[in-house]
Structure 1
Amino acid sequence: MADPIPAPHRTATDFFSDPLDSHPLWFKPALFLSPEFDSESYISDLRTFVPFDTLRSELQSYLASLNHELIDLINRDYADFVNLSTKLVDVDSAVVRMRAPLVELREKIEQFRGSVQNSLVALTNGLKQRSEANEAREVLELLLDTFHVVSKVEKLIQELPSVPADWLNGDVNLAEKNFITNGTSLQHVENGTNLRDTQSMLLERIASEMNRLKFYIAHAQNLPFIENMEKRIQSASLLLDASLGHCFVDGLEHRDANAIYNCLRAYAAIDNTRSAEELFRTTIVTPLIQNIIPHRTSLAATRPSGDDLENDYEQIKLCIDNNCKFLLEISFEENSGLHVFDFLANSILKEVLSAIKKGKPGAFSPGRPTEFLKNYKSSLDFLAHLEGYCPSRSAVCKFRAEAVYIEFMKQWNFGVYFSLRFQEIAGALDSVLVAASLVPVDNVHSDQGNSPDLTLKQSVTLLECLESCWREDVAVLSCADKFLRLSLQLLSRYSSWLSSGLAARKKGSTDSIPGREWAISAVPDDFIYIIHDIDFLYKRVCGDFLEHVLKLLSSCPADVLDLVKPSILQGGNLLNDLVPLVINTIVEALVKKSNEGVEQLKGITATYRMTNKPRPVRHSPYVAAVVRPLKAFWEGERATKYLTSDTKHEVLLSAATEITGHYYETADNVISMARRTASSLQRIRQGAQRRGGASSDVSDQNVSDTDKISMQIFLDIQEYGRNLAALGVDVANIETFRSLWQSVAPAERQSEISF
């Protein structure tokens, strides 16, 4: 027994506790046992994504593991392996004895297999012959059925009047024709059966046979027999179409419901609904519509040249009710199978569209927006009237999906319409906003009670433009989003006009930009108009205007309305946010005028410096000039008429606060300068007295110039405070006034402000 080759010492797992005999996912040892395994193709496939060294290493590792397993197997059964050679005695003779019956069995199996194979071939051939025979029989039966149907159709057509040429030429008065009929037709007439009913029922029968014939021809195409019968089939089809059209027209003219019903069923059977719709259009609808809307080339001199459609639609509605309703009721009859017809779209609407294009082409022109929109709304009303004949919602959907309906709606070019409306509305506002000055309206000075309307032409135009966007003769639901955007643009344009003008006034220059000059030339009272108009516009936009828009858009989904409402409110708030800026502009103008009076306070120093004037006992005249602008504003007609009390008080308090601040700064500078001057003079006077040996005592009974100046300013601010209090301003709450009071008031009166 040979010693087994020792396998290399390997642990069961590697450092990371993974089994060492595990292989990569791309290495599959099971493929080596496949009968179709090819080493070259296997290696070439793996080398596309596995390096050659890695592949060789893996194969060597797998070979070592196989050798190791082989050695383990030999060692496990080594005793049986050694004894195997001693037990194999006379193996060759045993093999010969077993081979003979096996060979014989193989021969018998081969013979049986050949017999079965021959039987299978014979059976397959027989089934194939049977299948071919069945196919041939089916084709033959199909051809026979086709021949029988063609013959039957020709026989049934022979029962119709034998003058198809007259029918093709358009003769439709069957009651006045002498027909050559066979015995069957004569029997119907003799029995009193209505001729149209008989013809229509016969035509329906022929149509059903023609439908069968079409089915047979579709399954027997390219056969010589069918090709030979093609002329007969076409002739029968033409005769059927002519006869059916003649009978249908005759039934329409006599309003024979039974004949019309049978003819429609015949048209539906041969899938020729367009012919019925076209016949009804040309025979019944066209003459009616042309009497209402004649072609432009045939207009008489007495015919007005207007393109208004409202009256025409009213006449068309009456004509439909009187002359077309009977057919519509038949075609919409429940369970009649006539739902395949659409006389509303392909007969009535088609003819109306054609008549408008030829007789009134200007009706579709958006060049005249008002007439265009009026015609559009009249057209929608007409379409709604037509939809009223539909018995169900599905019928309405089918009507709207027709090509004629879609073409009719495409005639209304709302892109051009909105562009014209945009230029008209936006241009009107822009033309007044570029004016060099504010333009009061004509009735701005009239007595309008406690709630006057807008005062400026610019504001009036804005409101008119906003309302124009949603007027009944302007707005259209299909362009609602565009008109909403235009409304917001108008509000933004007006707000931008105001804000840019106020900025230019504060800067003192327009920078040569048109539309800002008004702010430079405007007086404070003009801004009162602006505040009033902004408040009026804000309430109108966020009130009646918003409700009107939401009412017009009430048919829109709730989520759409949830977007429309905040957008309009935001536009209104954009206006309202400008009120503080306008108020500041008025305040600045008032402060500027009042400060001119405050500057006169500096003259008090010259009045009492180096003079022997007695102590002041009354206020200075300049105080009236300081308060005069505020008083004029408060008592002015415009502020009283156009501003609310809260706004007036806000303006007055803001102006008074700023004026008082400037008053305090000026007074403080005057008093400080007087004290410094008095101190300097006192030092000079004391030095002179010391040099002359005179006494340096100064009598306490003498009042200095600084004290006189302070006393005068105190009297002035008392008058100033009284005037402000008369206007409703609580000066005690103004911090700068308290500081001013404390700086000039006597010691005994500094704790309390009183006038």
Structure 2
Amino acid sequence: MLESIPTALPHRSTTDFFSDPVDSHPLWFKSNLFLSPTFDSESYISELRTFVPFETLRSELQAHLSSLNHELIDLINRDYADFVNLSTKLVDVDAAVVRMRAPLLELREKIEGFRGSVEGSLVALQSGLKQRSEAAAAREVLQLLLDTFHVVSKVEKLIKELPSMPTDWSNGDVNMADRNSASHAATLQNVENGTNLRETQSMLLERIASEMNRLKFYIAHAQNLPFIENMEKRFQSASLLLDASLGHCFVDGLEHQDENVIYNCLRAYAAIDNTKNAEEIFRTTIVAPLIQKIIPHGSTEFVAGASGDELENDYNQIKQCVEKDCKFLLEISSAENSGLHVFDFLANSILKEVLSAIQKGKPGAFSPGRPSEFLKNYKSSLDFLAHLEGYCPSRSAVAKFRGEAVYVEFMKQWNVGVYFSLRFQEIAGALHSALIAASLAPIHNSHSDEGRSPLLTLKQSETLLESLRSCWREDVFVLSCSDKFLRLSLQLLSRYSNWLSSGLAARKVGNSGANPGNEWAISAAPDDFIYILHDTNCLASEVCGDYLAHVLQLLSSCPAEVLDLVKQSIIQGGRALNALQPSVINTIVGTLVEKAVEDLRQLKGITATFRLTNKPLPVRHSPYVSGLLRPLKTLLEGQQATTYLTTETRNKLLVSAVNEITNRYYEIAADLIEMAKKTESSLQRLRMGAQKRAGASMDVTDHNVSENAKFSMQLFLDIQEYGRNLAALEVEAADIPAYCSLWRCVAPSDRQNVIEF
């Protein structure tokens, strides 16, 4: 038995104290990777070196090597007897190998011989198949050449038969060597099938076109062959003759409106994939003369017939001509299962000629420099296109018509973007001119002006409403620019709101120099702000009411989610106008308070009246009291307030003004009372000191109390009158906190709990 190979590491127990394997390797050491067929030592070490030191890796590998050696020795010791007996059982192995080799060699020779014969047969078979394939290809090419020759000959024969059918060639320009018009023009008999000569000719041309299509197929599959190259001239000559003959026959059929002839000719054009020629012939033969009469664009006709650039009447005449002279061909080309849907006479014949005539005869019709005429022509053109689309038998035909290059080119002529820019300058410029005025411009006799809203009172407000309505007027609005007109409407509302809010802010500050254009707010009277209150209320109601309904009606073809966004945006603009009303009310109140404060300054004279005097107790109110609420009463009872303010707005204005005036009344009176008390206290101390120095013993208390009583009594009488004035305005003085505080300051002790006038 083999002895154990000494290892570098001492023997350790297989488990430690906690029953975990002591000899287990770390998680990063995976011994099963060594058995992988794709194991590479260099890549394995390069991956581990980033986070495992070399010393650690070496120790783990040595430990693994030691464990492998132990396993090998254990295996040898376990089967040691079989290992030793293995050499004793290998007896006469060489002789057995020699006996087995002989038949194997013989079998190899037979296999090699058979392989050689099979390879020879395979080579012969492949050679035969190759020859057979080449022969088949040559036969195919030969058959193709023969078919091509037969078809060319057949086409030439059929073309030569064309002159034998007498026709009325009005513009005979076909060069045929064998054409003998004198002998063939006399024959006007019908053929066996009973069809006339024109129809027979068209049927023959359709047959020739079918053969030409077949010939194109053959030539496409036999390119670069000398035989085909030699026949190229014959093919081109036949194509020219076919195109000329087919063109004359198609023109003849159009002039006589022969349905069968037109149908056969169109099938022939479709067979040779030459739809453009048919569309061009129809345009020049039928459409062009009709359009020339309606929109003359020659050198003489243009000067003589230049009667403006309006297109509506021209389109109406063109519609009648299309209905009368073109409808028959449109119906033929759009018939079901006819195979003629490859033609588009609407776009490539009718619309193309109309576009060319307008460009030459009335180029000014496309100019947006005159917005009204441009819009009228644009809408007439859209109506004309919609009329042409009515001849399309299906939605796919409409989509095809709209995708044609002529249709796209026609729509490009109408520069709607420039038109909107001009309308923008026109509409926004009118509002801007009205808003930069130095003062408000009231509207006089607005009820009698036709077309003017009787609700608004200021020129600025009326201009805003007119501008908003102009965006959606029939003679201004374009559906394709609806998003731009909506944005313009919102910009107009925002411009008006900013004008009003900035003016109110400038009036509050008292300086318009920082923001030019706010002079109107500095010079405006309280009555002018009543106009603003009325107009903002009316504008908000109009914008969120009839105006919104009109816009939604014009955009009714849009999806529901788009209409919802439009509705929300316009309503938000109307609410912005309503949100300005509190600021306007505060501005009016501020003006009224300023006037009241000027009268309240007379309170300072009351203290001087009763101090150091022998005047008796007052028995009536001061004159200034009657003037405190006079401006407010005059404002509310004036014509502007009674005419343009709602009851709710008047109440808001009244309550806000009364509260603010009373607050200022209380502040000034309270300050004067406090100052009077301090002054009289100082005077009392001075008098008492003087009396002590003089040795006098007179009492000064009655004199001091008398002065305070006089002053308080005067204020008490004043606020009673003020309360009666509030009652005249239908305002409860007891409901005003500032008035209650003022009452408690000046009322006698026995009347402080009850407010009575």
Common topology (TM > 0.5): yes
Q: Does 1:30 align with 2:34?
A: no
Q: CA deviation at 1:682?
A: 4.8
Cα distance, 1:400–1:452 mapped onto 2, change above 3 Å: closer
Q: 1:161 aligns with which of 160, 163, 173?
A: 163
CA distance in 2, matches of 1:117, 1:59: 56
Q: 1:235 aligns with which of 234, 237, 245?
A: 237
Residue 696 of structure 1: aligned partner:
698
Cα distance, 1:59–1:322 mapped onto 2, change above 3 Å: farther
Q: Does 1:407 align with 2:409?
A: yes
Q: Deviations 1:341-370 (Å, cap 9, x if unpaired)?
A: 111111111111111111111111111111
Farther off after superposition, 289-298 or 137-146: 289-298
Residue 507 of structure 1: aligned partner:
509
CA distance in 1, matches of 2:249, 2:644: 81
CA distance in 2, matches of 1:668, 1:141: 124
Q: CA deviation at 1:679?
A: 4.4
Which amino acid counterpart does residue 29 of structure 1 have in structure 2?
A: S
Which amino acid counterpart does residue 729 of structure 2 have in structure 1?
A: L
Which amino acid counterpart does residue 218 of structure 2 have in structure 1?
A: Y
Cα distance, 1:170–1:616 mapped onto 2, change above 3 Å: farther
Q: 2:721 aligns with which of 714, 719, 722?
A: 719
Q: Is the 8 A contact 1:14 1:20 kept in 2?
A: no
| Paired residues for 1:624-703 under 5 Å | 624-682=626-684, 696=698
CA distance in 2, matches of 1:88, 1:692: 160
CA distance in 2, matches of 1:608, 1:406: 95
Identity %: 72
CA distance in 1, matches of 2:679, 2:408: 96
Q: Is the 8 A contact 1:309 1:363 kept in 2?
A: yes
Q: Deviations 1:96-155 (Å, cap 9, x if unpaired)?
A: 222222111111111000001101111111111111111111111111111111111111
CA distance in 2, matches of 1:124, 1:65: 63
Which amino acid counterpart does residue 337 of structure 1 have in structure 2?
A: G
Q: CA deviation at 1:738?
A: 0.9
Q: 1:148 aligns with which of 136, 147, 150?
A: 150
Cα distance, 1:447–1:254 mapped onto 2, change above 3 Å: closer
CA distance in 2, matches of 1:289, 1:736: 86
Which amino acid counterpart does residue 474 of structure 2 have in structure 1?
A: E
5+ residue gaps, structure 2, are: 15-20, 175-179
Q: CA deviation at 1:583?
A: 0.7
Residue 203 of structure 1: aligned partner:
205
CA distance in 2, matches of 1:336, 1:48: 76
Q: How many residues are matched?
A: 737
CA distance in 2, matches of 1:350, 1:163: 35
Q: Does 1:610 align with 2:619?
A: no
Cα distance, 1:722–1:23 mapped onto 2, change above 3 Å: same
Which amino acid counterpart does residue 295 of structure 1 have in structure 2?
A: H
Q: Is the 8 A contact 2:592 2:657 kept in 1?
A: yes
CA distance in 2, matches of 1:489, 1:249: 59
CA distance in 2, matches of 1:487, 1:328: 44
CA distance in 1, matches of 2:185, 2:114: 73
Q: CA deviation at 1:2?
A: 4.2
CA distance in 1, matches of 2:460, 2:406: 47
Q: Is the 8 A contact 1:527 1:582 kept in 2?
A: yes
| Paired residues for 1:351-390 under 5 Å | 351-390=353-392
Q: Tell me the TM-score normalised to structure 2 length.
A: 0.90
Which amino acid counterpart does residue 426 of structure 1 have in structure 2?
A: A
Cα distance, 1:230–1:463 mapped onto 2, change above 3 Å: same
Q: Secondary structure at the match of 1:617?
A: coil
Q: CA deviation at 1:65?
A: 8.0
Q: Deviations 1:527-586 (Å, cap 9, x if unpaired)?
A: 111111111111111111111111111111111112111111111111111111111100
Residue 275 of structure 1: aligned partner:
277
Farther off after superposition, 80-89 or 185-194: 185-194
| Paired residues for 1:592-603 under 5 Å | 592-603=594-605
Residue 340 of structure 1: aligned partner:
342
Q: Is the 8 A contact 1:510 1:516 kept in 2?
A: yes
| Paired residues for 1:219-368 under 5 Å | 219-295=221-297, 297-299=299-301, 301-368=303-370
CA distance in 2, matches of 1:602, 1:504: 32
Cα distance, 1:688–1:123 mapped onto 2, change above 3 Å: closer
Q: Deviations 1:590-609 (Å, cap 9, x if unpaired)?
A: 00001111111222223333
Which amino acid counterpart does residue 235 of structure 1 have in structure 2?
A: S
Q: CA deviation at 1:726?
A: 0.8
5+ residue gaps, structure 1, are: 33-41
Cα distance, 1:201–1:504 mapped onto 2, change above 3 Å: same
Q: Is the 8 A contact 1:627 1:723 kept in 2?
A: yes
Which amino acid counterpart does residue 286 of structure 2 have in structure 1?
A: I
Q: Deviations 1:263-296 (Å, cap 9, x if unpaired)?
A: 0011111111111111101110011111111116
Which amino acid counterpart does residue 630 of structure 2 have in structure 1?
A: R
Q: Is the 8 A contact 2:165 2:184 kept in 1?
A: no
Q: Is the 8 A contact 1:452 1:642 kept in 2?
A: no
Q: 1:489 aligns with which of 483, 488, 491?
A: 491
Q: Is the 8 A contact 2:167 2:198 kept in 1?
A: no
CA distance in 1, matches of 2:393, 2:63: 83
Residue 39 of structure 1: aligned partner:
none
Which amino acid counterpart does residue 522 of structure 1 have in structure 2?
A: A
CA distance in 1, matches of 2:455, 2:70: 109
Q: Is the 8 A contact 2:166 2:188 kept in 1?
A: no
Q: Secondary structure at the match of 2:481?
A: helix
Which amino acid counterpart does residue 417 of structure 2 have in structure 1?
A: G
CA distance in 2, matches of 1:60, 1:169: 108
Farther off after superposition, 242-251 or 401-410: 401-410
Q: 1:118 aligns with which of 110, 117, 120?
A: 120
Residue 88 of structure 1: aligned partner:
90
Q: CA RMSD, aligned part only?
A: 3.4
